């Protein structure tokens, strides 16, 4: 039995569609602000593998709530990793491109120097470090720009705004790989199964949709597939200030994931078509 931390988030919802028999722990059963309770729930469940798909994801609010973000994103995964290691089961933990500073234009390799720009990135980095320090069978899967038919995300925001307006100004100097939550869920399940058979594949990996694209060009593809007549004007990040700084370069080198697990970068435009269908749209070819 697989244990999943998370119940209503984008990746957790997609995991539930693929492995409904798994045990999904929401906040009522495992409050991530209480790391000891999370570890106790894991020990009590005695699963065959653990996927942590829960996190504090409010990037801007984290600037004012860094202690809480770090407890949820840092201490809780560390406690989960300890309990998973005690049981001798694989632990798959989802992390983020925000652990990097976003400098340059080259894709970040898993072993590239980290340098988060804000509280959210620091909290996720703390979680990575805690999981690694335990030394159990694990995979840290860094991903980027998560989208799906569930919750709040860029695709759903663009569909709403694109239906209301004739034009939008979208940031064009941030580049990364949009990644469908369904693709992340499928990758996590494959990684967990392989780790059970080959613990030596433990480590940190990257997974993101291809090809890399700017937010502005991503918006254009969303409008094009959805048949929305909404023009996009490119703007710099400086024209759209936010409490937390975003990395300009979110490109991730995913080659080691393909080498170790045979998981290739998914075509995000194809995944987008599936999301639009789930939302009741008929994507244009």
Specify the pLDDT at position 27: 87
Domain ranges of the chain: 2-153+177-211+251-271
Task: Round to whole Å and give the CA distance between 102 and 115.
Answer: 8
pTM over cut 0.85? yes
E-state strands within the chain = 2-5, 23-25, 49-52, 91-96, 138-143, 146-147, 167-171, 175-176, 179-180, 203-206, 213-214, 231-235, 249-250
Rounded Cα distance between 80 and 38, Å, is 6
* pLDDT for 171: 97
Q: Which pLDDT score, from 0 to 100, does residue 285 have? A: 63
CATH architecture, range 2-153+177-211+251-271: 3-Layer(aba) Sandwich (3.40)
DSSP 75: I
DSSP 108: B
pLDDT at position 282: 76
Count of all residues that appear for the chain in the document? 285
Tell me the β-bridge partners of 252.
108
Angle at 32 between CA 30 and CA 36, to 5 degrees: 75
**One pLDDT digit (tens) per residue for the chain, 285 residues:** 999 999 999 999 999 999 999 999 998 888 999 999 999 999 999 999 999 999 999 999 999 999 999 999 999 999 999 999 999 999 999 999 999 999 999 999 999 999 999 999 999 999 999 999 999 999 999 999 999 999 999 999 999 999 999 999 999 999 999 999 999 999 999 999 999 999 999 999 999 999 999 999 999 999 999 999 999 999 999 998 999 999 999 999 999 999 999 999 999 999 999 999 999 987 666
Q: Which residues are catalytic?
A: 120
């Amino acid at each position: 039995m697989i244990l999943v931390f998370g119940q209503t988030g984008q990746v957790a919802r997609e995991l539930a569609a693929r492995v409904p028999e798994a045990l999904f722990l929401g906040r009522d059963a495992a409050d991530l602000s209480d790391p000891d309770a999370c570890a106790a729930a894991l020990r009590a469940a005695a699963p065959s593998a653990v996927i942590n798909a829960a996190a504090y994801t409010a990037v801007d609010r984290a600037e004012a709530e860094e202690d809480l973000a770090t407890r949820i994103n840092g201490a809780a995964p560390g406690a989960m990793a300890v309990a998973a290691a005690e049981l001798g089961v694989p632990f798959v933990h989802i992390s983020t491109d925000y652990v990097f500073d976003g400098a340059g234009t080259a894709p970040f390799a898993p072993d590239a120097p980290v340098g988060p720009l804000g509280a959210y990135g620091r909290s996720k980095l703390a979680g990575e470090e805690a999981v690694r320090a335990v030394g159990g069978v694990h995979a840290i899967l860094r991903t980027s720009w998560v989208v799906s038919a569930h919750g709040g995300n860029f695709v759903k925001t663009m569909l709403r705004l694109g239906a209301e307006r004739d034009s939008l100004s979208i940031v064009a100097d941030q580049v990364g790989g949009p990644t469908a939550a369904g693709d992340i869920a499928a990758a996590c399940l494959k990684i967990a199964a392989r780790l059970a058979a080959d613990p030596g594949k433990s480590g940190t990996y990257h997974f993101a949709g291809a090809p890399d694209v700017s937010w502005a060009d991503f918006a254009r593809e969303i409008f094009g597939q959805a048949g929305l007549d909404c023009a996009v004007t490119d703007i710099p990040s400086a024209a759209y200030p936010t409490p937390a700084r975003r990395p300009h370069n979110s490109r991730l080198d995913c080659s080691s994931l393909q080498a170790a697990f045979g998981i290739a970068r998914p075509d995000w435009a194809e995944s987008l078509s599936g999301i639009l269908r789930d939302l009741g749209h008929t994507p244009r070819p």
